[in-house]
Amino acid sequence: MGIEVGQQAPDFSLDGSQGKITLSQYRGQKNVLLAFYPGDFTPVCTKELACFVEDWSQFQSKDTVILGISSGSADSKSKFAQSLKAQFPLLSDSDKAVATAYGSSGFLGVSRAYFIVDKQGIVQYKHIESLPFFKREDAELLGALAKLT
């Protein structure tokens, strides 16, 4: 279930570390990497998002914004983003409605998953991790983004 490559990405509005963000606000302007992650301040999620922070300029050079999404409160997202010095928003999907729409809601919460949405709002890349302690390398995601330009 969930969204597949080639389909229109479901729009959403979520609160988070930089206020309310709506996916469609980027349409026609930027590619979007949706990075679903299980939880704030957990070891693998901290490492994963720290890699995004470290490689932020490379994502920007691909005309891409990153939206980190997990359950938990907007306040927790703000504290986590501040601890990471994240230049991109972390968003609260507290009822897991967005994760469910994308097929990344699991039995224990939000699964680690990646979706690249192009400037027209079409999903061009999808990967849902089978186990939460695995993550995609930024090089793989940047490579997928390079194919869009």
Q: How far apart are CA 48 and CA 106, in angstroms?
A: 19
Domains along the sequence of the chain with CATH: 13-146 (3.40.30.10)
Tokens 């720290």 — which residue? 50
pLDDT computed for residue 105 by the predictor? 85
**pLDDT at site 131:** 57
CA distance 99 to 112: 10
The active-site residue out of 9, 32, 45, 84 is 45
- pLDDT for 135: 65
Q: What is the pTM of this model?
A: 0.91
Please give the pLDDT value at position 45. 87
Annotated catalytic residue 45? yes
Exposed/middle/buried for residue 122 (C-beta within 10 Å: 0-12, 13-18, 19+): middle
CA–CA gap between residue 51 and residue 53 (Å, rounded):
5
At 134 the pLDDT is 59
The predicted structure's pLDDT at residue 43: 85
Question: Residue 127 CB: number of other CB atoms within 10 A?
Answer: 16
Sequential pLDDT tens for the chain (149 residues):
578 999 999 999 999 999 999 999 999 999 999 999 998 998 888 988 999 999 999 999 999 999 999 998 999 999 999 999 999 999 999 999 999 999 998 766 788 899 999 999 999 999 887 655 556 667 789 899 999 86
